[in-house]
Amino acid sequence: MKVRLPQGMGGGPQNMNQMIRQAQKMQEDMENLQAELDAKEYTVKAGGGVCTIVIGGDKVIKSVELDNAIVDPDDIETLQDILVAAFNEAYRTVENTNAEAMSKVTGTMNVPGLF
- Residue extents of the structural domains in the chain: 13-106
pTM of the model: 0.68
Task: Render pLDDT for 34-80 as a digit per residue (tens, 0 to 9).
Answer: 999 999 999 999 989 999 999 999 999 999 999 998 899 999 999 99
HSE of 112 in the Cβ direction (CA atoms, 13 Å)?
0
Domain 13-106 matching CATH 3.30.70.2390: the answer reads no
Decide: 25 and 32 in contact? Cβ < 8 Å: no
10 Å CB burial of residue 14 (0-12, 13-18, 19+) is: exposed
Confidence of residue 113 (pLDDT cuts 50, 70, 90): low
